[in-house]
C-alpha cells in the first residue's frame, strides 16, 4: 500500500468530506465524550492500555490470522492513541495500519507517542471515508459501547473490509450478579425490550456517564451485532477475552468481553 505526497492513503474515498479538525460533536452525548477524551488524552494510555487486558488478548488472537488471511493492511476504527497500530507495527511491520478516530485530541496524543500522522484520519466511525472492500481487515477495540448506534458502525466496518472484521468489546450479559445477568438476557435478548430498559434506566438520555473513567457509554453486547455481521460474512465466531473459566463451559453469561471474528471469505 502506498502513501501519496500528502500522506493520505490511496483507499480514502474522495466523495466524503473529512472534518477540518473534528466534525464537532453533534449532540449532547458525543460532545460530552469528546470533552472527556480531550481532558484525559495525555493520560489515556496509562488509564486504559494494559498488557494482558482484554484488548491485548484480542490483538494477539487477531495476529494469528495475519498469515492465514494474507492480511497486508488494517484499519483500526476508534483507534484512540494508536494501540492497534502500534501492535501491528511491532508484530507485523510489513502491514500498513491506519487508524480512524473522532477525537482529534486522542489522535494528537498518539502522534506524540510514535504513531505516524500520515496514518491517521479524524472522522466519524459511522461514516468511514473509505471505499468498499478497500482494506483487508477492519478492527475495533472497545469502541462500540461508546457510540449510540453500534450496528451502524459495524455495517460500515463490513462495507470497508474485504476479508475480515474483528470486534473486541463488552458483553452486558456477562457483567453483574447472576440474577442481573439473567434479567438482562431476558429483557434485552429474549423480550427485545432493551431500548425501553435503557430509556427508563437513563431517564431518557439513553447513555450513561462515568466521570474520570469511561466517559459516555451505552449498554452493549457484542452479541447485539451478530445478525448484522452475518448479513455479509461467510462465518462469524466468538471467543472470550475476559472472565473466562473452563473454556468448555463458556457461555454468554460467563464472560464480560469477547472478540468477534467475522470472515468475508472462506478460510482454507
pLDDT in tens, 129-153: 999 999 999 999 999 999 999 999 9
Q: Report if residue 180 sits inside a domain.
A: no
Tell me if 4 is assigned to some domain: no
DSSP 52: T
Average of per-residue pLDDT values in the chain: 89
Query: Is the pLDDT at 3 greater than 70, yes or no?
Result: no
* pTM for the predicted model, two decimal places: 0.90
Share of the chain above pLDDT 70, in %: 87
Helix (H) / strand (E) element for 178: namely helix 178-184
Distance CA 97, CA 85 (A): 5
Calpha distance 140→192 (Å, rounded): 25
- Is 246 among the domain residues? yes
- pLDDT value of position 135: 98
Number of domains in the chain: 1
What residue numbers bound the domain in which 149 lies?
28-171+220-263
Mean pLDDT of 86-107: 97
Q: What integer is the mean pLDDT of 81-102? A: 97
Of 135 and 212, the one with more pLDDT: 135
Identify the DSSP state of 19: -
The pLDDT value recorded for residue 150 is 97
181 within some domain = no
**Is 160 inside a domain boundary?**
yes
Burial of residue 197 (CB within 10 Å: 0-12, 13-18, 19+) is middle
Amino acid at each position: 500500500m502506498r502513501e501519496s505526497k500528502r500522506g493520505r492513503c490511496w483507499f480514502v474515498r474522495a466523495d466524503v468530506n473529512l472534518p477540518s479538525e473534528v466534525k464537532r460533536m453533534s449532540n449532547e452525548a458525543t460532545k460530552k465524550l469528546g470533552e472527556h477524551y480531550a481532558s484525559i488524552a495525555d493520560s489515556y494510555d496509562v488509564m486504559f492500555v494494559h498488557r494482558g487486558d482484554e484488548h491485548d488478548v484480542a490483538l494477539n488472537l487477531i495476529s494469528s490470522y495475519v498469515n492465514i488471511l494474507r492480511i497486508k493492511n488494517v484499519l483500526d476504527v476508534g483507534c484512540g492513541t494508536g494501540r492497534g497500530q502500534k501492535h501491528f507495527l511491532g508484530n507485523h511491520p510489513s502491514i500498513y495500519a491506519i487508524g480512524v478516530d473522532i477525537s482529534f485530541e486522542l489522535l494528537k496524543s498518539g502522534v506524540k507517542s510514535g504513531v505516524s500522522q500520515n496514518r491517521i484520519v479524524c472522522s466519524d466511525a459511522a461514516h468511514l471515508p473509505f471505499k468498499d472492500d478497500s482494506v483487508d481487515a477492519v478492527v475495533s477495540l472497545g469502541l462500540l459501547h461508546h457510540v449510540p448506534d453500534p450496528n451502524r458502525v459495524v455495517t460500515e466496518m463490513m462495507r470497508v473490509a474485504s476479508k475480515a472484521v474483528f470486534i473486541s468489546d463488552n458483553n452486558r450479559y456477562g457483567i453483574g450478579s447472576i440474577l442481573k445477568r439473567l434479567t438482562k438476557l431476558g429483557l434485552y435478548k429474549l423480550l427485545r425490550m432493551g431500548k425501553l430498559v435503557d430509556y427508563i434506566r437513563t431517564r431518557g438520555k439513553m447513555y450513561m456517564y462515568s466521570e474520570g473513567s469511561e466517559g459516555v457509554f451505552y449498554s452493549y453486547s457484542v452479541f447485539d451485532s451478530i445478525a448484522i455481521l452475518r448479513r455479509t460474512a461467510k462465518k462469524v465466531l466468538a471467543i472470550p477475552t475476559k472472565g473466562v473459566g473452563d473454556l468448555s463451559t463458556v457461555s454468554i453469561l460467563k464472560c464480560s468481553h469477547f472478540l468477534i471474528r467475522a470472515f468475508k471469505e472462506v478460510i482454507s
